[in-house]
Each structure stands twice: as C-alpha cells, then as structure tokens.
Amino acid sequence: MLAATDRPIRSYAGSGCPFTNLRGKQVLNEDSSSRLAELEKRCEQLEKNLRLSEDRFDKLFHASSHLMTITTVKDGRIIDINETSASLGGFTRKEMIGRVSSEIGLFADAKQRERMIRKLQEDGRVHNLEMKVRTKTGELRTVLLSADPITLKDEECFLGISIDITERKKADESLRQTLAWQAAIFEGSRDGILISDKSAKIVAANAAACELTGYSKQELLKMRASDLQTEADLTELAVLHDRILAGEDIQGETIITTKDGRCIDAEFGHQRVLISGVPYVHTIARDVSSRKLLEAQLLQAQKMEAIGALAGGVAHDFNNLLSVIKGYTELLLDGFDQNDSRRQDLEQIEKASQRAVSLTSQLLAFSRKQILQPEILNLGAAIAEMSTMLRRLIGEDVELITLAEPNLGLINADPGQIQQIVMNLTVNARDAMPQGGKLIIEAANADLDERSVRTRPMMGKGPYVVLAISDNGIGMDAAIRSRIFEPFFTTKEKGKGTGLGLSTVYGIVKQSNGFIWVYSEPGKGTTFKIYFPRVRSEVNQAAGTKKIKHEDEGSETVLLVEDETSVRALASRILCERGYSVLQAGDGVEALRVARDFNGEIDLVLTDVVMPGISGRTLVARLESLRPGIKSLYMSGYTDTAIVDHGILDSKVAFLQKPFTVQSLAHKVREVINA
C-alpha cells in the first residue's frame, strides 16, 4: 500500500484556492488529512470486500454442482475449472488447468467452440447452448452451456456454467421412442380407437376410427361418443359411460351410424384409462358387418340344407305312392271305353297325380336329388333360343332385353334345367311388375378373386359365367329375402303360386355346382345373379343321336327287387302283362337267394336304389359276380351317391325315375335288355 506522503495530491480547480504556504509549497491542513485517512480506510475496506468476494466466488466456483469453467476466448486455454466439471470428463483439475481445450479433445466437434464464440460476439452472452463434450475415456456427454464474457489480467475470457443433461436426453429419447411406439400402435391399429373424456367428448381418434365412421379426425374431435350411436338410447349410454369411468370393463356389439348415414354392426370394448391422473374412456371398435352377413348366410345355407333333406325324403316317399296311383290308373284306363263316364273319372285322377308328380319333381330339384343330364353349353345361346318363348310369357307390357358378353365362356349344365331357372325367374319378375316394366337377362364372364368371394361363404375364387336377371318391380325387404328359397314360401295370393318356383331354382343351381345371390330393396326392383363355374371344353356340335324305338313286350326273365310292396306288385303286373317272367324280392338278401336258387337264366335285374340292408348298387355288384352278363336297371324316387355323383348320372348306368308310368317302365326294360 502507498504511504500518505507518496500519494499524489489531486488539485480541485473547482475550489478556487489551492492550499499553499508562504514559501509557495502545497501543504495539507487538518481537514484534508482527515479526509485522506477516511479514503484510505474506505480503500482498505474495499480491498477486504474484494478479497471476501473473491474468496466467496472461489468457494462457490469450486463447490458448485454445476460445471464451471473459465476459458480464454483467444485460444480456449483453461484458466480455471471446478472439480465437478473436471470429474465429469474423468480428469483432475491439475490435468486441465493451463491446457487448451482442443488438446484434450474437450469438444466433440471443434465447430462447436466456433459457434459458441460467434454467439458471444453477436449476443454478448450464450444461453442454454446444447453441446457435446468428450470424456477422458472417449464417452460423449451432452451439456447445456451458458457463458458470459469476463476480463482477467487484461485477457478476454468467458465464464461457462454447464448442466450435464446426458441422462435427461436419454430419458427424453426413451420417452420419445415410447411415445412413437404408442403412436404407431394407436394409428397403426386396424380397429378404430377413440378416447373420450368425462363428458363423453372425443379427445383422440386414430385413422381406423375415421375410416370406420367416415368422419375426419377434426370432425370427430368436435363430437361426443353418443353422436355415433344414433340408434341407441341416450339415457342408457350415459349410464354405461358412468360404469366405465367407475372402472368397469364393458364389451359387446352396437350399431354405429356413419357420416353417410349407413348403419354398421360394430364390436366394441370400453375401459377406463388414467392419463396424467385424469380418467378417460378408451374405446376399441371393429366393423363386424361382413362377419354378421357371413354368419347369416351360413345359417341360411344350413337351414336350406336341412329343409332340402326333408323335402327330398318326402318327395321320395311321394314318388313311391304316385307310382302306384298313376300305374294302376293307367291300367284301369285301358279297360274302359272312351265314352264311359268312369273313364273320365279315372282321367281326372290321372291328371291330379300328374300335377302331384310335378310338385315332387320340384321338391327333388330343391333338395338336389333329381337326375341331371349336363352338357357343355353357351349360356348366351341358350338365352337367345328362349327369347321368343319368354316374350310370350311376360306379355306386351314388359320390355325384355337380353344381353350376352362377346366371347362368353362355357358352362357344364343341363340345358333343360337352365331353361327351368330362366323361366321361373322370368315369371317371378313378371309378377313383380303388375303395371309393366323392364326385364333384363344378361350373361357375362366373371373372374372372382379373394376379395370378391370374401362375403360369399363356400364360394371359391376363379372363373365363372354369370346369369343375371333383373327387373324394376316392387322389390323385397330383408325379411322376405331371407325366406324366398324356402319350399312353399310365397307372397302371392292364395291359389296363385305354390311357393316352389324359387326353391326349384335354388336346388338346380346348387346341384349344378353354382351359386345364387339376390339383391333387392322395396321399390327398387330385384336382381338374381347366378354364378356357374366356367369350363374350357368345347360345345359338342354333333347332331343328337336319334332314340331307337323299341317294342315294349318281351319274354325274358326279370328279377324285380323293391322294398315297397305296392310298387313291386305294380311293376310285376306291368311286366307280366307284356310277356316277361318276373322273379320278385323284397330286399337285397332275398334277391341273392332267389338268384342262387333259380335254375334258369336271369336277363335283367330291376332294383330300387335305396333299400334296407343291401343297397341296390351292392346287390348288382354281387349278382354280376354270381351271374356274369346279367343286365341291370335302377329305379328310385331320388338318386343315391352310389349311382349319382353330385346329381350327375353315370352314362353307363341305366336309370328309371319314379314315379314311372306303364309305358316308361315297359319301354326302359326293353331298351336295357336290347342294349
């Protein structure tokens, strides 16, 4: 510290009179001396305060949990560094003080320091600048740096205070990844997801929810959950909402109304979730309309199968009865003169039995038990051949339009049954247009892929030919559509329909390996679409073989096997009256015994297909071993898989459909024996 006499005396010009003595030298008076002492005392206090401040700063600098460093601006030489900062990098203070930051690789990227200097020059300070630093072991740490310029010993420096945010960054990254995963799951879900608050207002919705409802995300976020369930009771929805918020998980099915007004079946699951401690309702919804449709179609198919089995059994029994009624009626007719009134009575019985035969034939068609004689045909050509007859059938007030796609594929079907399908559907269309209208019959190729058959159970993908018959008549509602193929179901007035037209169509289509679908709404007409599998074979253009006319009478021996006594008696009488020798058996076991015991030749076995014990097919096989060369003729009210494969008769098998007539039985027996 300087002595008092060595201190320069400042002249205060403003005082007007410097202190001088008689010799002209400046002197200090008592007042000035006192003031000087006071100044010295104040300087000492300032120095003491400075030392205390420096000491306090030094303690704060080194004791701070923050990373603190004093570095020169010019070259980055470390003037001082606290223990916290040094230990972060794995160094000691001694290792770092006096060294340049670049020598020890403090900055992971040299450009970071340049960026920091530039920031100091532009803004005068640095605030929360994120930087990467490298530790002694090479590990990278992330710090958040704030720096202010200071001057030490006339050298520009900066005081840097940093916070190690490495772990926070890792936590942030982990949180970001978690949120990204959650967002991916939320948005990537194929099910619609909605989150609604206590007031049932939707606060979040994923893309699937938008697709499900038809609303955009912005629109959904302005709606309440109840806005999507216009068919539901609002009071019940409120109670349900409270139960969920109370912690109850609820699952079930509901109907969602989409933006375009459609009502779709949806399967849902509700549960309460806590987000930041606040309860919300988390909803997952899935469109199950297609599944419900498939279930309904499958149930309908199963019901039709059951009804078909019943119808087939009934038709079989009826055919046995009708064979007896028709056969004996024909035999009686031969014994009466044309003018005999009793003959007219018998003719009425014969006509009634013929109508009954027609009904049972339709039942067999529905149950897929009738005999088909399929051939390769062009559906468009078949429709064209029928067009004249169809125009007469529908009348003048209905416009008929027939369309066939060029290069139409071929199908394998019974031409007579195809005509039956077209006629039945045409009659139905005509009746649905009492005031006239338009009937369109189309034939086109169709190639169905996985997506196309998704809503059509049991229908495989592949090439088809489609027969579509459309009208613009009164249409049908869903309740009627679900029953139209059931036998005896009709919406027509009493006496104007049997209810077997569409059931016959259904049976023929199924027996032809096809599929039928109906599209109709009240007041919007009806379209029936029938899909037949497309085949590659060419149409057989050969002229039909003329049937050989055979005489009905003969003298051969026939083994007649029939479990129905009345049918067996009738057939035996018809054959005996035409000169045949008839051996009778009530079942297969008896027939084998008769064949073994009979010494003469047996030319033909006439057997029923379905019998108790040994079936007709098994019986014929055993008789062929027992009596080589014996010929066979099957008869049945419906066909059996032993003879018929999927309703298609083997061309090598002779078959007589029940109920037979006197003429058809005699003719068929003669034909088989002569073959």
| CATH code where residue 665 lies | 3.40.50.2300
- 621 with 518, same domain: the answer is no
Count of structural domains within the chain: 6
| Residue 552 belongs to some domain of the structure | no
| Residue 267 belongs to some domain of the structure | yes
| DSSP bridge partners of 264 | 256
- 303 with 271, same domain: the answer is no
Lowest mean pLDDT segment, chosen from 247-251, 256-260, 304-308: 304-308
667, 327 contact by CB (below 8 A): no
The pLDDT of residue 490 is 67
- 54 with 68, same domain: the answer is no
CB neighbour list of residue 261: distance below 8 Å, 6 or more residues apart: none
In whole angstroms, give the CA distance from residue 421 to residue 83: 98
* The two structure tokens encoding residue 485: 């193929």
CB neighbour list of residue 328: distance below 8 Å, 6 or more residues apart: 570
In whole angstroms, give the CA distance from residue 577 to residue 223: 88
The pLDDT of residue 323 is 76
The pLDDT of residue 394 is 84
Most confident of the following: 285-289, 308-312, 372-376, 551-555: 285-289
Q: Per-residue confidence at 507, pLDDT binned at 50, 70, 90? A: confident
In whole angstroms, give the CA distance from residue 114 to residue 110: 7
| DSSP bridge partners of 631 | 604
Q: Torsions phi, psi of 192, nearest 5?
A: -70, 135
* The two structure tokens encoding residue 401: 């339009």
If DSSP codes are grouped into helix, strand and coil, which group holds residue 8?
Answer: coil
| DSSP bridge partners of 516 | 530
Compare 374 and 310 and report the one with higher pLDDT: 374
The pLDDT of residue 611 is 83
Residue with tokens 């007007």: 16
* The two structure tokens encoding residue 584: 């009778």
In whole angstroms, give the CA distance from residue 674 to residue 550: 8
Q: Which helix (H) or strand (E) holds 323?
A: helix 289-333
Residue-wise pLDDT for 417-427, tens only, equals: 888 888 888 88
Radius of gyration in angstroms for the set of CA atoms belonging to the chain, rounded to a whole number:
52
- 342 with 449, same domain: the answer is no
- 276 with 198, same domain: the answer is yes
CB neighbour list of residue 585: distance below 8 Å, 6 or more residues apart: 559, 560, 561, 591, 593, 594
In whole angstroms, give the CA distance from residue 318 to residue 357: 8
Q: Which helix (H) or strand (E) holds 117?
A: helix 110-123
DSSP 124: S
- 303 with 283, same domain: the answer is no
If DSSP codes are grouped into helix, strand and coil, which group holds residue 95?
Answer: helix
CB neighbour list of residue 60: distance below 8 Å, 6 or more residues apart: none
Lowest mean pLDDT segment, chosen from 159-163, 267-271, 285-289, 548-552: 548-552
Residue with tokens 């003729």: 633
Q: CB atoms < 10 A from the CB of 62, how many?
A: 15
Most confident of the following: 106-115, 178-187, 225-234, 441-450: 441-450
- Give the amino acid at 503: S
- Of the residues 287, 308, 332, which one is the last residue of a structural domain? 287
If DSSP codes are grouped into helix, strand and coil, which group holds residue 549?
Answer: coil
CB neighbour list of residue 474: distance below 8 Å, 6 or more residues apart: 432, 433, 522, 523
- 642 with 585, same domain: the answer is yes
The pairing of strands 78-81 and 526-535 is: unpaired
HSE at residue 351, side-chain half, CA atoms within 13 A, is 6
Reply yes or no on whether the pLDDT at 22 is more than 50.
no
Q: What is the mean pLDDT of residues 57-84?
A: 79
Reply yes or no on whether the pLDDT at 445 is more than 70.
yes
- 433 with 509, same domain: the answer is yes
In whole angstroms, give the CA distance from residue 533 to residue 412: 8
The pairing of strands 398-404 and 278-287 is: unpaired
What's the per-residue H, E or C state across 513-582?
CCEEEEEECCCCCEEEEEEEEEECCCCCCCCCCCCCCCCCCCCCEEEEECCCHHHHHHHHHHHHHCCCEE
DSSP 456: S
475, 523 contact by CB (below 8 A): yes
The pairing of strands 655-657 and 631-636 is: parallel
- Of the residues 313, 341, 366, which one is the last residue of a structural domain? 366
Return the CATH number at 328: 1.10.287
- 571 with 595, same domain: the answer is yes
* The two structure tokens encoding residue 367: 């149950």
In whole angstroms, give the CA distance from residue 305 to residue 295: 15
Return the CATH number at 380: 3.30.565.10
Q: CB atoms < 10 A from the CB of 249, how many?
A: 11
Helix, strand and coil percent figures for the chain, each rounded to 5: 40, 25, 35
Reply yes or no on whether the pLDDT at 606 is more than 90.
yes
pTM (2 decimals)?
0.43
Q: How far is CA 307 from CA 179, 504, 648, in A?
A: 57, 13, 21
Q: What is the mean pLDDT of residues 526-541?
A: 77
Return the CATH number at 224: 3.30.450.20
| Residue 135 belongs to some domain of the structure | yes
| Residue 179 belongs to some domain of the structure | no
- Give the amino acid at 331: L
- 338 with 279, same domain: the answer is no
Q: Per-residue confidence at 2, pLDDT binned at 50, 70, 90? A: very low
Rounded to 10°, the helix 662-674/565-577 angle is: 70
Q: If we measure between CA atoms, which residue out of 442, 439, 416, 383 comes closest to residue 508?
A: 416
Domain region containing 44: 14-58
| Residue 31 belongs to some domain of the structure | yes
In whole angstroms, give the CA distance from residue 135 to residue 164: 12
CA angle 161, 165, 168 (to 5 degrees): 155
- 473 with 579, same domain: the answer is no
Q: If we measure between CA atoms, which residue out of 535, 507, 445, 468 comes closest to residue 638?
A: 507
CB neighbour list of residue 92: distance below 8 Å, 6 or more residues apart: 86
Compare 649 and 18 and report the one with higher pLDDT: 649
The percent of residues above 70 in pLDDT, for the chain, comes to: 79
347, 375 contact by CB (below 8 A): no
Q: How far is CA 157 from the centre of its chain?
A: 71
| Residue 184 belongs to some domain of the structure | no
Reply yes or no on whether the pLDDT at 62 is more than 90.
no
The pairing of strands 437-448 and 398-404 is: parallel
Q: How far is CA 603 from the centre of its chain?
A: 61
| Residue 87 belongs to some domain of the structure | yes
Q: Tell me what the pLDDT averaged over the chain comes to.
A: 79
Rounded to 10°, the helix 341-366/501-511 angle is: 50
649, 555 contact by CB (below 8 A): no
641, 669 contact by CB (below 8 A): no
In whole angstroms, give the CA distance from residue 363 to residue 308: 8
In whole angstroms, give the CA distance from residue 52 to residue 426: 113
If DSSP codes are grouped into helix, strand and coil, which group holds residue 194?
Answer: strand
If DSSP codes are grouped into helix, strand and coil, which group holds residue 232?
Answer: coil
483, 489 contact by CB (below 8 A): yes
606, 561 contact by CB (below 8 A): yes
- 305 with 391, same domain: the answer is no
Q: What is the mean pLDDT of residues 558-566?
A: 90
Most confident of the following: 129-143, 315-329, 560-574: 560-574
- Of the residues 331, 346, 366, which one is the last residue of a structural domain? 366
Q: Which helix (H) or strand (E) holds 440?
A: strand 437-448
In whole angstroms, give the CA distance from residue 170 to residue 168: 5
